[in-house]
Amino acid sequence: MRISAIWGLIALVIWKTEAMPPRIEGGRKQEQPRDEGTSYDSLELGSYDPNLDNYDLSNYEERAIKNDYGEPTPKVRLTEMGLVVKSRGVRATGRALKMDLLYPLYFGPLSDLGLPTCLVCVCLGTSVYCDDADLERIPPLPQETTYFYARFNHISRIQSEDFKGLRKLKRIDLTSNSISTIEDDALQLLPALQELIIPENKLIFLPKLPGSLVRLDAQFNNLRGSGILPESFKKLEFLYLSDNEMDYIPVPLPSSLRSLHLQNNHIQKIQEGTFCDAEDHKYVRRVLEDIRLDGNPINLSLTPNAYFCLPRLPIGSYI
Going along the chain, which residue ranges are E strands?
75-79, 82-87, 90-95, 122-124, 127-129, 147-149, 157-158, 171-173, 181-182, 195-197, 215-217, 238-240, 259-261, 290-292
Query: Among positive and negative, which fits the CA dihedral 37, 42, 44, 45?
Result: negative
The amino acid at 142: P
Decide whether 105 or 298 has the Cβ nearer to ligand NAG: 298
Q: How many Å apart are CA 89 and CA 253, to the nearest integer? A: 63
Decide whether 1 or 302 has the Cβ nearer to ligand NAG: 302
Q: How many Å apart are CA 319 and CA 316, to the nearest integer? A: 9
Supply the minimum distance, in Å, between the C-beta of residue 270 and ligand NAG. Answer: 13
Decide whether 192 or 302 has the Cβ nearer to ligand NAG: 302
Decide whether 58 or 301 has the Cβ nearer to ligand NAG: 301
Angle between helices 99-107 and 3-19 (to 10 degrees): 20
Alpha carbon separation from 95 to 60, 104, 115 (Å, rounded) = 29, 17, 25
The candidate with the shortest Cα–Cα distance to 105, out of 206, 13, 191, is 13
Supply the minimum distance, in Å, between the C-beta of residue 57 and ligand NAG. Answer: 59
Supply the minimum distance, in Å, between the C-beta of residue 268 and ligand NAG. Answer: 11
Decide whether 191 or 297 has the Cβ nearer to ligand NAG: 297
Decide whether 79 or 301 has the Cβ nearer to ligand NAG: 301
Supply the minimum distance, in Å, between the C-beta of residue 319 and ligand NAG. Answer: 5
Supply the minimum distance, in Å, between the C-beta of residue 317 and ligand NAG. Answer: 7
Decide whether 67 or 299 has the Cβ nearer to ligand NAG: 299
> Would you tell me which residues interact with ligand NAG (CB under 6 A)?
299, 301-302, 319
Query: What's the chain's length in residues?
Result: 319
* Residue 211 CB-density burial (10 A; 0-12 exposed, 13-18 middle, 19+ buried): middle
Supply the minimum distance, in Å, between the C-beta of residue 308 and ligand NAG. Answer: 17
Supply the minimum distance, in Å, between the C-beta of residue 305 and ligand NAG. Answer: 13
Supply the minimum distance, in Å, between the C-beta of residue 249 and ligand NAG. Answer: 18
Decide whether 255 or 299 has the Cβ nearer to ligand NAG: 299
Q: How many Å apart are CA 27 and CA 29, to the nearest integer? A: 6
If you write DSSP's letter for every residue of 109-158 in order, what string do you get?
A: PB-TTSSBHHHHSEEETTEEE-TTS--SSPPP--TT--EEE--SS---EE
Q: Measured over all CA atoms, what is the biggest interatomic distance in the chain, rounded to whole angstroms?
A: 79
Decide whether 174 or 293 has the Cβ nearer to ligand NAG: 293
The amino acid at 134: D
Supply the minimum distance, in Å, between the C-beta of residue 301 and ligand NAG. Answer: 4
Q: How many Å apart are CA 223 and CA 221, to the nearest integer? A: 6
